[in-house]
């Protein structure tokens, strides 16, 4: 066992884990953050994704020790991340991140299993490319080097939700 200091959703968390324990297990089992899901365990589906220093990472293959000290954001931390980016104070009743709200408004999820990774990917995409084209969205989720798999086939709704979130984020940033 070894002690690992993590920074998750803006909070420092110390965990005592066996060497090589995947970040996903620490998030779900030790920190009770159940947004990230275990899908393939092989970095191929994206269900387990989190942001590490703003980049999407597959938590099933990263060891917790590998990301010690880096900024980890899970689905649960997206509202606070958005508030911080707008210069708003952290609050218990933080509104949802525009990506999460767009996912509700477009009724994207079907079974829901993959959707953690979809929203994490959308957040990464929109932070890097605030107004992506349909081709860029398709590249991020489907056609690029690290696709996200959805067995329910929600991709059409995902494109619409990313476009809706992009508009909301652009509006939010002008405030």
Least spacing, CB of residue 18 vs ligand FES, in Å: 19
Q: Is 114 in the site for ligand FES (CB under 6 A)?
A: yes
With contacts defined by CB under 6 A, name the span among 9-17, 39-47, 67-75, 121-129 that binds ligand FES: 39-47
Say how many C-beta atoms besides its own lie within 10 A of residue 160's C-beta: 16
Looking at 5-13, 32-40, 65-73, 156-164, which segment touches ligand FES (CB under 6 A)?
Answer: 32-40
Number of residues located near ligand FES, criterion CB under 6 A: 23
d(CA 12, CA 47): 24
Segment near ligand FES (CB under 6 A), from 4-12, 46-54, 64-72, 135-143?
A: 46-54
Enter the tokens of residue 75.
């689905």
C-alpha–C-alpha distance, residues 46 and 1, integer Å: 28
From the list 33-41, 71-79, 97-105, 156-164, the region that binds ligand FES by CB under 6 A is 33-41
Residue 9 touches ligand FES, criterion: CB under 6 A: no
Look up tokens 């884990």; give the residue: 17
For residue 44, the Cα-to-chain-centroid distance in whole angstroms is 15
Q: Please identify which residue in the block is written with the tokens 């958005």.
A: 82
Query: Which residue from 35, 77, 98, 109 is in contact with ligand FES, where contact means CB under 6 A?
Result: 109
Nearest CA to 53 out of 66, 40, 38, 37 is that of 66
Among 113, 129, 142, 164, binds ligand FES (CB under 6 A): 113
Whose CA is closest to 58, among 149, 164, 168?
A: 149
Binding of ligand FES at residue 58 (CB under 6 A)? yes
8 Å CB contact between 13 and 56: no
Interface with ligand FES (CB under 6 A)? 38-41, 43-48, 58, 60, 109-115, 150-152, 154
């Amino acid at each position: 066992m070894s002690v690992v200091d993590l920074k998750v959703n803006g909070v420092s968390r110390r965990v005592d884990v066996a060497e090589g324990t995947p970040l996903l297990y620490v998030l779900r089992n030790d920190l009770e953050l159940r947004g990230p899901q275990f899908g393939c365990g092989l970095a191929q589906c994206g269900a387990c994704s989190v942001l590490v220093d703003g980049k999407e990472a597959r938590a099933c293959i990263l060891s917790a020790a590998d990301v010690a000290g880096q900024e980890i954001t899970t689905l649960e931390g997206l509202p606070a991340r958005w508030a911080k980016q707008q210069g708003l104070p952290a609050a218990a009743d933080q509104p949802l991140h525009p990506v999460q709200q767009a996912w509700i408004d477009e009724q994207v999820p079907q079974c829901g299993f993959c959707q953690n990774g979809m929203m994490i990917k959308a957040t990464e995409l929109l932070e890097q490319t605030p107004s992506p084209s349909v081709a860029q969205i398709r590249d991020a989720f489907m056609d690029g080097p690290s696709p996200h798999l959805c067995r329910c086939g929600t991709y059409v709704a995902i494109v619409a939700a990313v476009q809706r979130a992009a508009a909301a984020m652009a509006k939010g940033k002008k405030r």
